[in-house]
Amino acid sequence: MHKITLIPGDGIGPAIVDASVQVIEATGVKVDWDTQLAGMAAVEEHATPLPEETLESIRRTRVCLKGPLTTPVGGGYRSVNVTLRQTFNLYANVRPAMSFEGTSSPFRNVDLVTIRENTEGLYAGIEHFIKFGEEKIAAESIAVITRQGSERVVRFAFDYARAANRKKVTLVHKANILKCTGGLFLEIGRDIAKEYPEIDFDERIVDACCMQLVMKPEIFDVIVTTNLFGDILSDLAAGLIGGLGLTAGANIGTDAAIFEAVHGSAPDIADLGIANPTAMILAASMMLEHLGEKEAAGRIERAVRAVIREGQILTPDLRKDSGFGTQQMTQAIIANL
């Protein structure tokens, strides 16, 4: 029996999280869910987007399946997702991107994983205004790159590649311009690569990498990069396979792991019953693999791919003339288990 924190989230979150729970239960894996609130749903009940009860649950279970969250505008609230990553030191963000048969994407040969440093860089949130009187004349952000943070995420990428039988790690940087921050990250990557002689090591400047991703995505296997670049590149990779609706992510740390769909809460279609559950269900698959339930995780991914390949019972974002919604697609996936 696995004890797991469950955060339904905002907007379409509750619907797609419920779909994921149904699929997990259909595999036969036993889970004791501890349902907690975060985001706007938590503000309405607890007057904070991240209640202490939710944090304590994750500390206790060390594993969380999280729906998309909305950070309230104004009121001085920090991003809930960034706060979770920093609170639990979830230093590695893992986002696979593999082509799906049955989508409209012209790319059919994408099979890569972006591993993004998740706690440092420009997303550390160290910034301020420079004022002349009351006038804001400039703004500064400080990108923090540490040796410890760089070593652990690069080593994570190589260990991931080794465990997944992947052959190459590409480190993406901007060391030609950012001599100190980018230079340190690149230097550490080169040193660690020597410890994994069986894995090819490649390094690319981020702008060239973006171009090559859309021209020759098949040359990439595992990408490891800094926080901001990873955020951008992983969304680009998602576009190659059909969009964020098909993309799951894992946030991994030493003491906890949080699994999520990487898209937003889509409040414009909340309660319409048409949200695509794919990303959330694939996040559940990643979570089960993390928990050692590899057979069930594989069954889920194969079932999702089968439903999309068959092209019949899909949500409208995948098939415009579809008359089906979240629940019908979920049941089709369960039937394919």
129 and 88 co-located in one domain: no
Which of these three, 206, 241, 276, is where a domain ends?
A: 241
75 and 199 co-located in one domain: no
Sorting pLDDT into bands at 50, 70 and 90, what band is 84? very high
Residue 249 has pLDDT above 90, yes or no: yes
Q: Which of 302, 305, 306, 286 is nearest to 294 (CA)?
A: 286
Sorting pLDDT into bands at 50, 70 and 90, what band is 75? low
Terminal Cα-to-Cα distance of the chain (whole angstroms): 20
Question: Domain holding 139: CATH number?
Answer: 3.40.718.10
Q: Which of 29, 23, 28, 38 is nearest to 3 (CA)?
A: 29
257 and 226 co-located in one domain: no
**Domain presence at residue 188:** yes
Residue 72 has pLDDT above 80, yes or no: no
191 and 227 co-located in one domain: yes
The whole-number average pLDDT for the span 140-154 is 96
253 and 292 co-located in one domain: yes
The whole-number average pLDDT for the span 33-39 is 96
Which of these three, 241, 271, 292, is where a domain ends?
A: 241
221 and 119 co-located in one domain: yes
124 and 75 co-located in one domain: no
Q: Could you tell me the pTM of the whole model?
A: 0.95
What is the signed CA dihedral for 76, 79, 80, 81, rounded to 10 degrees? -170
Residue 74 has pLDDT above 70, yes or no: no
**Domain presence at residue 328:** yes
**Domain presence at residue 101:** no
pLDDT for position 186: 98
Give the Cα separation of 83 and 101 in Å (integer).
Answer: 36
151 and 198 co-located in one domain: yes
Mean pLDDT of the chain: 95
The whole-number average pLDDT for the span 309-313 is 95
**Which tokens go with 27?**
């595999």
Q: Using one digit for the tens of pLDDT, what is the confidence trace for 198-248?
A: 999 999 999 999 999 999 999 999 999 999 999 999 999 999 999 999 999
Q: What residue numbers bound the domain in which 203 lies? A: 106-241
Sorting pLDDT into bands at 50, 70 and 90, what band is 322? confident
218 and 270 co-located in one domain: no
**Domain presence at residue 100:** no
**Domain presence at residue 46:** yes
Which of these three, 224, 241, 258, is where a domain ends?
A: 241
**Domain presence at residue 224:** yes
300 and 324 co-located in one domain: yes
Residue 77 has pLDDT above 80, yes or no: no
265 and 334 co-located in one domain: yes
In the chain, % of residues over pLDDT 70: 99
Residue 317 has pLDDT above 90, yes or no: yes
Which positions are annotated as active-site residues? 123, 174, 207, 231
Overall domain count for the chain? 2
5 and 125 co-located in one domain: no
Q: Using one digit for the tens of pLDDT, what is the confidence trace for 150-191?
A: 999 999 999 999 999 999 999 999 999 999 999 999 999 999
**Domain presence at residue 32:** yes
Which segment of 75-84, 175-184, 256-265 scores lowest on mean pLDDT?
A: 75-84
